[in-house]
Structure 1
């Protein structure tokens, strides 16, 4: 397959996809270590000199949606396209097989009415039954060690599954926080008792968790939290209010950041984390309804909630370090890039760009940016899996990724005006919902201003 190294332009992306459609029928599978092509129907890999991801992702994107940049093309007639992020210790093609397995499962779920694809479903799509169906297949708690009820699989295997869930717009919000942040946090900081108590339930999608960080007067300035935990009767007594707490209404536990000391003038000191089981007689969870009428945010009030000493997660006073490590998982994952992918795919399936060079150029630019962002996200995922704390890079993924997601919505809105009467009903509904969600993209997980401050300070120290 002829490929130009100048891949980060709309013209090059278009040329690449046209070349694929012209008859070569090869796909490029990007990995951190090499770039390979796979001939459809052969299962074989062959090396390719291209050292980048844009060609790969453009091919995958447009054959997933059943069309390329110039004309409709049936993916089922052309051959299955699978991205393979090949780790050094993975057999060639193994991750591609996993991706295909997940994609086919999701196709069956959609066909059977198991769920309807939605943009931003990782945040708003709460379906505990669907989460358990994923767990039954070993796709929740994938990186949790087997001895704690997990599956002992690699971070890249989990990344592959995560991408497919996001691209499909699957309702994964019920288990998302527990799987993404809390399982790694408990593995890193928890006691043996906490690991054995909570991790098996997370892997079975029975233990759903929320994060109690933001407060009415402490959002982006997280170090100013006022929720307090004081020692009482051999345990702890928590008092305070958390807001914008995703999934607390379905959570079976919440991890709370609270002040346990004055810190000696250092706002980042004197903070600790606690695991509070829900429901709790002194904890009140109240819904916060968003502008689209949905309920995924909550206010959580701790009214002298007493918890045992075993509720302390990690070391007393080490909460800030623990939280920042958890935020690395929250800020850098593919959901910061792919949450609006179902909307982009729904628009692209209409073929609206076939005769519109402006729309085609806009789509090409989005694909190019998506490629670079995905590569950055993968890099951070690798460092997190190695036990590093890439706070700067994670902040970059979140800042650039959420800006990209907002641009996806803007591009689709510009080219798919529901008032025209030609936009499919499903696309119009998804677009209307996504438009309402856009303002929150750059707020949750840290505002863009705070993230850029993290980047600036991090660069100054290098």
Structure 2
């Protein structure tokens, strides 16, 4: 059975769907004063207070074991909550990576001491992680990373550089994929994951200002950084397999469909007004909605696999590739609609939101794996190569 055949229609169980209204009620008040162009940043935003409040309400770490501070619930429960975070444009970037993939990765591969040290504060919204994968000259070709951890008495010495490291300047730790043996020519062999305290001597973080004026992307430099022996996550040399498992969490969620959703909702509100409604805009709304609906169904189906303990790497890549295509189309289609109108008829906040999303949209098909890389994975999964 192919990856496509395995994505059966799935309904979110009622007990998990019941989470939706309380989350909506809370977020409606929390984001009420935030303009749409700010909310459009959502999981790229940063609000440590919000993360702590979500943790206090039990809405972080929902799928993680209660023994480590989590909710002990299914992947469906987390899907509902995350979907609402994105729908409201809540600034959840502070805890986003830690809760989405770092804590599950530690639970899967870490020692008991690592689990007890790192996972509970992630569930409380108090500890933040970033991803240390890409490097200069080793972005899409992740297997060619050159950052190296060398064995030393009592631990490791880390040297090298990571780039495009989202929110590193606001994070406490990084889970870094580095080479612990061999050379870059060895490809997948000799790679390991390490938990790096970003406050250690020798760590330098430099934010990168992007086209939109945001600076959440960062360069991170390691110069003779001394790591304790227990910084190693999982098995030495098994880093590639661990990263591939981790990326299923990164590629399968609603964030791969809804990065443009605040813009879409803002535009829908406009075309519902007598001034904004046209036959063309109504048809366009139907066109976009008809693409989002089946993609959401596919995303929920991937969540079903996660809920059953599977690792749907190919299916997640498929949803991510198709989803980012729609995300990128939304600002272009909305721009075509708005720029056919007299400028004074279009609300300024809608234009500001369109401006941000248009500038951010090219990154949608880069983050979490480039389109070409994902399509290669999908082709192999479908038996086409």
Alignment of 1:290-301 (within 5 A): 290-301=210-221
1:368 aligns with 2:368: no
**Equivalent of 1:391 in 302, 308, 313:** 313
Asked whether the equivalents of residues 106 and 233 of structure 2 are also in contact (C-alpha less than 8 Å), the reply is: yes
Deviation at residue 154 of structure 1 after TM alignment: 1.8
Aligned to 2:375: 452
Aligned with 2:271: secondary structure?
Answer: coil
Aligned with 1:397: secondary structure?
Answer: helix
Alignment of 1:232-311 (within 5 A): 232-262=152-182, 266-311=186-231
Aligned with 1:229: secondary structure?
Answer: strand
Aligned to 1:321: 241
Structure 1 residues 157 and 214: alpha-carbon distance in aligned structure 2, compared to 1, 3 A threshold: same
Matched residues in 2 for 1:119 and 1:327: separation? 25
Asked whether the equivalents of residues 146 and 183 of structure 2 are also in contact (C-alpha less than 8 Å), the reply is: no
After superposition, the C-alpha distances for 1:401-454 in whole angstroms (9 at most, x for unaligned) are 111001111121111238612121221111111111011111111111111111
Matched residues in 1 for 2:44 and 2:185: separation? 39
Aligned to 1:142: 62
Asked whether the equivalents of residues 169 and 339 of structure 1 are also in contact (C-alpha less than 8 Å), the reply is: no
Matched residues in 2 for 1:264 and 1:116: separation? 46
**Equivalent of 1:153 in 51, 65, 73:** 73
TM-score w.r.t. the length of structure 2 is 0.93
TM-score w.r.t. the length of structure 1 is 0.78
After superposition, the C-alpha distances for 1:317-337 in whole angstroms (9 at most, x for unaligned) are 110011011111111110000
After superposition, the C-alpha distances for 1:348-383 in whole angstroms (9 at most, x for unaligned) are 001258742222222112111111111111111222
**Equivalent of 2:336 in 414, 430, 447:** 414
Alignment of 1:120-269 (within 5 A): 120-262=40-182, 266-269=186-189
1:312 aligns with 2:235: no
Aligned with 1:249: secondary structure?
Answer: helix
Aligned with 1:151: secondary structure?
Answer: coil
Deviation at residue 164 of structure 1 after TM alignment: 0.5
Aligned with 1:350: secondary structure?
Answer: helix
Aligned to 1:423: 346
- Consecutive unaligned residues of structure 2, counting only runs of 5 or more, are 1-7
1:103 aligns with 2:24: yes
Deviation at residue 457 of structure 1 after TM alignment: 1.6
**Structure possessing the higher relative contact order (Cα contacts under 8 Å, 6 or more residues apart):** 2
Deviation at residue 264 of structure 1 after TM alignment: 10
Aligned to 1:378: 300
Deviation at residue 120 of structure 1 after TM alignment: 4.7
Structure 1 residues 129 and 140: alpha-carbon distance in aligned structure 2, compared to 1, 3 A threshold: same
Alignment of 1:19-34 (within 5 A): 32=9
Aligned to 1:11: none
- Consecutive unaligned residues of structure 1, counting only runs of 5 or more, are 1-30, 35-84, 87-91
Aligned with 1:256: secondary structure?
Answer: strand
